[in-house]
Amino acid sequence: MAYSLLGLAGNIISSIASTLEENPTLNLCDKIYCLWCREAERKLDIYEKIKSPKYFQKSPPLMKFTAFINNFRLKKYKSLSFQ
């Protein structure tokens, strides 16, 4: 019962890539405690591209604090590397 689209993989990938270049935050959530989304924002330095930033995405002190906390949280994931 799900909707499906059929297309050439190259065209689909190209379309998705250009959409994410315009707005790289489309697949990120806005929860301050989400480790993966906040680290992606920080590592990719996409704060300026967030169309409707939340308070914690506009405040450099809060962004630094979130990164500090996430460094401790990431230590339990030994196989992952955010560099």
Which CB contacts under 8 angstroms, 24+ apart, belong to 35-40?
35/70, 35/73, 35/74, 38/66, 38/67, 38/70, 39/67, 39/70, 39/74, 39/82
Q: Which two tokens stand for residue 30?
A: 């806005």
User: Token pair for residue 52?
Assistant: 């409707």
Flag whether pLDDT at 11 surpasses 80: yes
Kindly report the length of the chain. Answer: 83
Q: What pLDDT is stored for residue 79 in this prediction?
A: 60
Does the model's pTM come out above 0.75?
Answer: no
Question: Would you state the pLDDT for residue 80?
Answer: 55
Q: Give just the sign of the alpha carbon dihedral 39, 45, 46, 47.
A: positive
Q: Give dist(CA 60, CA 55) in Å, integer.
A: 10
